[in-house]
Each structure stands twice: as C-alpha cells, then as structure tokens.
Structure 1
C-alpha cells in the first residue's frame, strides 16, 4: 500500500511506522488514521515481522487529533460516524482499540506527545523518549475528552493519583518527570532515540517468539480480572504454547548443552479461552 501521511520501514524483523505530518506536528486526520490502521494490520498479519516501533517526524511524536479535519469529517458524517466508530471503531492511530496485536510494540517518542498521541504511546508495550519530549492531556483546553484509552491506560501505568492530575489539570510534563513517574521506560538523547529503540527491538527478536507473544497476551488478557482468574488465563496460554514444536526445542537444547534451533513457525492463535478447547484438554 502506498502511504501519503506515514512512512513504513522493514529492517529485518523490525517494522517501523513513522507519522509524517511535521507541518501540523504529526496530528492525525481521518486519512492518516486509516493509513495507520492499515499499517498496523500489515504488522499484525505478517509472519516475518516480529516487533514494531512507532515514532514521528521532526519535533513531534504525535500531538493528537487534527481537530479542524475531524470537526469537518464528523459534521459531514453526523449520523453514520458515531454509529460506526463508537465502541467498535478502529481506534485512534489505528492501535488504541479494536486491534489485538500480541507482538511487542515500542513507542519511540521523539518530541511532543499530547492528547491522542499520548494514547498511542500508552498502547505500546515499551516507551522510550528523547530528552526533549513533552507529555500532556492538552485536549483539555478544547473540551475534547480522552476517547481512546487515555482514561483507562494512563492510571494503570503511572497510578491513579498522577493520572488524575494529568487528566484533570491538563498540565504538561517533560521527559525527566515522565521517567520519574513511570510513564516512560527510558530517556535518551534525541539523536540516539531510534537507534536505542531498534536495539531493544532486536533484543526481543533474539528470543523465540512463541513465549514472548504468549506472555504479552497473558498480561493483556489478565488486565481487569481477579488474580486467580488471570493466572488461569496465563496457564491456558502456557499450555497452548505446548502445542508448538518450539516449546520442546528450548529445554532439549538446555539438556543437550547445545544451541537451540527454533523454527519460529507461525501458527494462527486459536481461541485458547474457548470452552470446547478447555474440555478437550481436560478429557485428554
């Protein structure tokens, strides 16, 4: 697919998506949102791509929605847009909801990260930012709420008190403060940001991917569940991994004191929570 407002790059197993609207600080209009959605589907469905990096061009990661464009778009779609997108829509930046991806995602936050841009960053698994990065719920000024995960993910990352402060006051914080409260995992010089993100991505790629994806899925599916139920979900996913031939290669290599030879063959994830599969396991 040819993209107008984003750039994509495949570097071995690493897939980089770059929002490329620097003239509007990488804010996202409907067209860009659709392009991002398609890019994320490509990453999700391509068996040769294992880790994704999302970043922006120039001095902004993403400053949220292009309010002018969305205002016009929603007015034109006054009836159909809410019906189509509320609850079941593709989410902001193509990632924040309606897109289950159990491959690892890294946000390389290269500058301004506001509103919906913050929601995109929160949807990533690991957040690395440049020293000049800034964060905030600046949409507060325009009576625009957090519609794609900000109210649900932010407090899970930084805690309820700090999340409520950021959400209600619309305050802006710098990279140092973001690291202090746990919003980002690491702060690096701007010129080293993408290099560092790729280093982390390649480290993840050095592992067999079955267990990496299993553990991410267990974390995601466990959110909001009582711990006992979450552990059961984890255990079902663990035993589902047992069906993959690579599950036995690791322990066998350890036993034989040799290098493991993983196939990393892709097997379509089955619904490991289905009652039929659980009953089959129990019967066997």
Structure 2
C-alpha cells in the first residue's frame, strides 16, 4: 500500500517503518496517525513479519511529536484507537518493535520510542517530554511508560523540568539499549532485529506478552500462575515452532522457524 506521510519497507521478516515528514522534523498530524494505524495493523496480521524497526526520515529528527502548527491552524486532531502514531495505545502487539532514534525525539516522538520494546539511539539523539512548556502534558503514554522504564524519581526529573536528555544519558538512565554513531544507527538496529529473528517468533511473542501482562498482575506469584492463560503462550504450545525447536536441537541443526 502507498502512503503519503510514512514509508514501509519489507526486509524479509523485518519491517522498517519510517516517519516521513522531514520538513516538519517528522512531527505527526491526524492523517499520519491513521496511516501508521493501518501499517501497524498490517504488520500485526502478517505471520511473515516478525520484527519492526521504527525510525525517522532525514538526519535531524526521529519525531518532534505532535504537529503543533497543524493544531494551531485548526487542523484535524483526530487519532485512531491505537493512539498517537497508531502505536501508543496499541497494547496487544506481541511482535517486537525497535526504535532507531536518529535525532530529536520530543514529546510524542519520545512517546513513540517508549512504546517500542527497544531503543537504539544515534549519538546525536535527544529525548524530552517538554509538553508543559506549551501548556500540554505527555498523555500519550509518556507519563506512565517513562516511570516504569527508569523509576519514578528519575522520570519526574525529566517530566517536571521538560529538560532534554542526550542519548548517552538515556543509556545511563536505562531507557536506551545502545548508543551508536549516526552512520551506524540503522545497521545496529538491523543487527538487533537479526538476533531476534534467530529465535522462534512464537517464543518471542509469548515472552513479550508475559513480561507486559505480568507487570499488571498483583504479585509475582499471580504473574507466574497467570502466564499460561495469555494468548501468545497458548499459541506457542500449539505451534509448529514448539515442535521444531526441540527437534532441531536433537538433530544438531539450525531450526527452521515458521512463526506459526
């Protein structure tokens, strides 16, 4: 499908989603949200797509967040049920997403990155939730995901000041997985994706789902007891991969994963 405000490129089992509004630092407006909603729906539904990488077009920005000029001019501010960028309220996606942050990730842009499972950042990347500077608040998940990622005190240090954090500092705080030179960003993100693709997609989905659903359980005991009820775990035990993995190990060969 052709899109106007994003690019979607298939690379085998890896899909690259590029926010493609570099003239406004990849800030997003309503039409872009709905395009991303459709693209992530297609990604979720396709059994041959295993891992996603989200990045921004150009060298300046991953995403500057909400397109405030579009909002100020009375532009349509509707968003899909999946939230900002078709992602921040998408809680049923068990396929892993990697944010390849190539520059500014401000406000909603940072919230997109936080909604991904891993963040790989260029040395030039910067992160912030500066919404209070313009009379807004980071209500697309940033106020909840950041404390869960780095702890309440550290998160409030960013949230209550709106301060910018470098990629290196983000790594120290714990929300960035790896920092790379700008020219190596996409290669590094693809390396992470390739490592994930070496494993059973069914196992990866069950593992991701268990982590996030388990965090919502009232106790560790409840999480361990409850994980067998989760849909991705049930799908794992019924899958071809569940048979293929032990068989390949016994036969001393590389497994041929199906993702189904």
From 229, 232, 241, give the equivalent of 1:246: 241
- Per the TM alignment, residue 240 of structure 1 is displaced from its structure 2 partner at its CA by 4.6
Larger Rg: 1
Q: Name the SS for the 1:129 alignment partner.
A: strand
Change (3 A) 1:253 1:28: same
Deviations 1:91-118 (A, max 9, x none): 0011000452100100000000000011
* Counterpart residue number, 1:230: 223
Corresponding residue of 1:20? 20
**How many residues were matched structurally?**
255
Question: How does 1:205-220 map onto structure 2 within 5 Å?
Answer: 205-220=197-212
Query: Secondary structure of 1:97's partner?
Result: coil
CA distance in 2, matches of 1:231, 1:248: 23
Match of 2:44 in 1: 44
Please tell me whether the aligned partners of residues 30 and 69 of structure 1 are also in contact (alpha carbons under 8 angstroms).
Answer: no
Deviation at 1:47, TM superposition (A): 1.4
Query: 2:201 touches 2:257 (CA, 8 Å); kept in 1?
Result: no
- Provide the residue aligned with 1:63 in structure 2: 64
Q: Provide the C-alpha distance between the structure 2 equivalents of 1:107 and 1:224, rounded to a whole number of angstroms.
A: 23
* C-alpha distance 250-98 of structure 1, shift in aligned 2 (>3 A): closer
**For 1:27-52, what per-residue CA distance to the aligned partner results, in whole angstroms no more than 9, with x for missing partners?**
10111111111111111111111100
Cα distance between partner residues in 2 of 1:258 and 1:15: 27
The residue aligned with 2:126 is 134
TM (norm. structure 1) is 0.85
Q: Name the residue aligned to 1:90.
A: 82
Q: CA RMSD in A?
A: 1.8
Deviation at 1:239, TM superposition (A): 5.2
Q: What residue in structure 1 maps to residue 195 of structure 2?
A: 203
2:164: which partner in 1? 172
Match of 2:104 in 1: 112
Residue matched to 2:75: 73
Q: Is there any run of 5+ residues in structure 1 with no aligned partner, and where? A: 266-284
Quote the offset at 1:176 in angstroms.
1.1
Q: SS of 2:47's equivalent? A: coil
Equivalent-residue separation in structure 2 for 1:245 and 1:206 (angstroms): 16
Instruction: For residue 22 of structure 1, report the CA deviation from its aligned partner.
Output: 1.1
Q: Is the Cα contact below 8 Å between 1:30 and 1:70 reproduced in 2?
A: no
